[in-house]
Structure 1
Amino acid sequence: MGMREAVDQVVHEAELQLTDGTWELAVTDSDLARQAAAALTDAVGPVDAHQALPRIERLAALREALAALALTVARTHGHLAWFLADASSHLTPVLHWRALDAPDDRTFGAVLPADDELADAEAAIRLLAAILARISQDA
């Protein structure tokens, strides 16, 4: 299962919890969700523009998105933290990716991602940004 598909399952669970009232977004969480959505959108821009970037910039943007998610998780508790932590856990392969060649193969296990893996991670980030923006407006 790809990252986007895994994150989609987490998003689906969040939508169910929001719909059935299990998760009621507090005002402070709504503000954090809005800020996280903006940070994710800033990090991973529109598909066409982002895919035209060099691999090193695409990877840097994905790492920036992961950092924004980590900071948001650190600033909250409860459902929003659980949701973002679960979604983030599906994006951890990004942390093992590298953009530079390593002729001596001494990379601490880092691997070069395929273009479709980069695109999959970027799509997962865009999905998270979209739901965070939506739920922050609904609260």
Structure 2
Amino acid sequence: MDMRTTIEGLAEEAERQLHDKTWEPTDADRALAAQAAVDLAAAVGPPDLQQALTPVERLEDLREALAVIAIATARIHGPLAWLLAAASTALAPILHWRALAAEAGHTFGTIEAGPEWYAEAEDAVRRLQAVLAVLGAP
């Protein structure tokens, strides 16, 4: 399963729980979700802007998005933490990517990511950002 599909499933589950009122976010959940949504939007911009960046810049932005998710996860408990942790796990392959060519044997197990990988991961981050924005709305 790819990142986009996994994040979409998580987003749908969160939206379903909100709709069915099986998850009633607390004020702390809403505040953290709203801030994380803002921070994710700042990390990964619209597709046309991201595609204009170099691979190094795109990878930096995706790693920043992972940092946003990690920090938010550390600051909350319960369903929102579970959603963020699952999203972090889905996006974890980003940590094994590199944007620079490397000499053989000096890569620490990383692999060069292709443009389609960046696009998929960026779409997944945008979908997570969208569901967090919904969660953060009053």
Fold conserved between structures, TM > 0.5 = yes
Cα RMSD after superposing both structures: 0.9
Q: Which whole-Å deviations, capped at 9, do the CAs of 1:29-61 have from their partners, x for residues lacking one?
A: 100001000010000001101111000000000
Is structure 2 residue 29 aligned with structure 1 residue 29?
Answer: yes
Aligned to 2:55: 55
- Using the TM superposition, name which of 33-42 and 15-24 deviates more: 15-24
TM-aligned CA deviation for residue 69 of structure 1: 0.2
Runs of at least 5 residues in structure 1 that lack an aligned partner in the other structure: none
Aligned to 2:110: 110
Distance 1:61 1:2 in 2: 19
Distance 2:122 2:10 in 1: 16
Distance 2:104 2:135 in 1: 47
Letter of the 1:108 counterpart: F
Distance 1:18 1:42 in 2: 25
Q: How does 1:41-120 map to 2 (within 5 A)?
A: 41-120=41-120
Q: Which whole-Å deviations, capped at 9, do the CAs of 1:85-124 have from their partners, x for residues lacking one?
A: 1111100000000111102332110000111111000000
Residue correspondences, number: 138
Q: Share of identical aligned residues, percent?
A: 50
TM-score, normalising length from structure 2? 0.97
TM-score, normalising length from structure 1? 0.96
Letter of the 2:98 counterpart: R
Q: Which whole-Å deviations, capped at 9, do the CAs of 1:47-81 have from their partners, x for residues lacking one?
A: 10111100000000000000000000000000000
